[in-house]
Amino acid sequence: MKKASPMKYLVFLTVLVAIILAAIVMLNNKAQDKDETLESHPDTENQPFLGEKDAPVSVVEFGDFKCPACKEWGERIYPQLKEDFIDTGKANLSYVNVLFHGEESTLGALAAESVFKYDPDSYWEFQKELFNQQPEEDHDAPWITVEKLLEVAGNTTDMDLDQLKQDIEQQTFKDQLELDNSLVQQFKVEKTPTVIINGVKLEDPYDYERIKSLIEEGQE
């Protein structure tokens, strides 16, 4: 039996690699096709933000403190986004509260808004630690309480904890949460996290290459 020549194997492997690469490109294009170009970008005035106010690209995360996927986004995407684009002045990040999980989502959002008001430099550390407090398994189990919020704030901020407790219990920043909810409705946010970059709502908020591409396009 005649053996196939090494050249034939090389040609076969080359064709196979080309097919795989083409498939990857097609899948990426399909994901990008599902991104939604919006008529406008969310108004981030008075929203918690990180980075330069006049950065050319605005990244907006709609998130919920009870949402495990938001915690994952903060662990997987946020550090690289901060290093590559926020710290370099190419983009800023804003956060809009989503209250899909009811009372606990509301408690977390009220506390976060109070921290942002009185100790804005500690806001992102407070946010990160609050997400870290999510249960590892039963995510729906009650865990966001006034006591837990005061504990997290005590470990991450210079907040007057009596002030924070009062703001939570009296819903001092209820108007801000209503503004956030109006943005959720306006931009048809149906899942968390939802990420919008300069008016483009991402189908896959974990696709860092797509995030990177949109931000780089915004520099042009």
Residue 25 has pLDDT above 50, yes or no: no
201: nearest Cα among 84, 9, 32:
32
Domains and CATH numbers, the chain: 1-33 (no CATH), 37-218 (3.40.30.10)
Please give the DSSP secondary-structure letter assigned to residue 86: I
pTM above 0.75, yes or no: yes
Whole-number Å distance between alpha carbons of 7 and 146 = 70
131: nearest Cα among 122, 119, 139, 121:
139
Q: Tokens for 145?
A: 């309480």
pLDDT in tens, 159-204: 999 999 999 999 999 999 999 999 999 999 999 999 999 999 999 9
